[in-house]
């Protein structure tokens, strides 16, 4: 008859499941059972009465797929806890109460959790009530539209036409400008509360433009 041995880190796994007085950081490689440990910790919180309402539980993950899997596994674990012979009637009642409202548990992504908080307290966050979060595709489409408008403005600016011409002559395609614009768009919050400060003193670039003009003249 084969013997099932406990993993060498069983003590750590038990602490994750039962130590509800501490905030724990768990570091482990892929496939080692981090999600299983998290699910068992959630179940233990319910069984012991530390959490009595599904609305008081939250588990945050990185992707939508992982969040959906986590919800299924929490539900399955709670159902398994009800079937355990060693559970008392009181413990089963606690689990059944949370299981009945399992969809009320906050099991979502970091992005989804932040959106939920902002949606609950928009004014406190300085946002208009009823705001909507753009998805990645919608945000990309809007950026492309804004960038095309920017190019139109650049081409219509007589002072910038020579600069654009020199850039193209030096094989600096507009796609590079788009890359820079995308970096600014992705990191707009780092520009400060007012974005780019309009009071900054303009920097003269004659020392750059003139050598570029010489370089352009040398091109075959």
Number of domains in the chain: 2
Task: Identify whether residues 65 and 156 lie together within a single domain.
Answer: no
Average pLDDT, the chain: 82
CA 21 to chain centre: 27
Burial string for 179-200 (b: 16+ CB within 10 Å, else e) reads eebeeeeeeeeeeeeeeeeeee
Residue 60: pLDDT band by 50, 70, 90 thresholds?
Answer: confident
Answer whether residue 24 shows pLDDT above 70.
Answer: yes
Q: How far apart are CA 147 and CA 161, in angstroms?
A: 17
Query: Lowest-confidence range among 43-47, 171-175, 196-200?
Result: 196-200
Return the CATH number at 60. Answer: 3.40.50.300
Query: Do 70 and 16 fall within a single domain?
Result: yes
Q: Is the residue at 126 inside a domain?
A: no
As a 3-state breakdown, the chain gives helix, strand, coil percent values, each rounded to 5, of 60, 5, 35
- Shared domain for 101 and 149, answered yes or no, is no
Residue 62 lies in a domain: yes
Percentage of residues in the chain with pLDDT exceeding 70?
84
Hey, what are 162's tokens?
């020579």
Listed in sequence order, the DSSP H helices in 101-135 are: 110-120
Do 20 and 106 belong together in one domain? yes
Is 91 a member of any domain? yes
Range of the domain at 55: 10-120
From 65, 89, 120, the end of a domain falls on 120
Based on the fold, state whether residues 80 and 150 are members of the same structural domain: no
């Amino acid at each position: 008859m084969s013997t099932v041995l406990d993993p060498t880190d069983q003590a750590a796994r038990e602490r994750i499941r039962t130590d509800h007085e501490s905030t724990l950081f768990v570091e482990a490689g892929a496939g080692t059972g981090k999600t299983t440990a998290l699910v068992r910790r959630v179940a233990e919180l319910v069984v012991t009465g530390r959490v009595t309402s599904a609305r008081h539980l939250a588990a945050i993950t990185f992707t939508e797929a992982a969040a959906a899997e986590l919800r299924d596994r929490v539900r399955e674990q709670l159902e398994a806890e009800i079937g355990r012979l060693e559970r008392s009637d009181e413990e089963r009642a606690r689990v059944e109460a949370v299981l009945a409202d399992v969809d009320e548990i906050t099991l979502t992504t970091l992005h989804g959790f932040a959106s939920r908080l902002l949606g609950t307290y928009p004014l406190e966050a300085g946002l208009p009530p009823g705001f909507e979060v753009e998805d990645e595709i919608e945000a990309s489409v809007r950026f492309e539209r804004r960038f095309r408008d920017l190019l139109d403005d650049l081409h219509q600016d007589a002072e910038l036409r020579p600069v654009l011409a020199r850039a193209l002559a030096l094989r600096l395609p507009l796609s590079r400008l788009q890359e820079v614009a995308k970096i600014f768009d992705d990191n707009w919050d780092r520009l400060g509360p007012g974005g780019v400060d309009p009071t900054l003193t303009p920097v003269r670039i004659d020392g750059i433009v003139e050598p570029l003009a010489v370089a352009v003249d040398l091109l075959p």
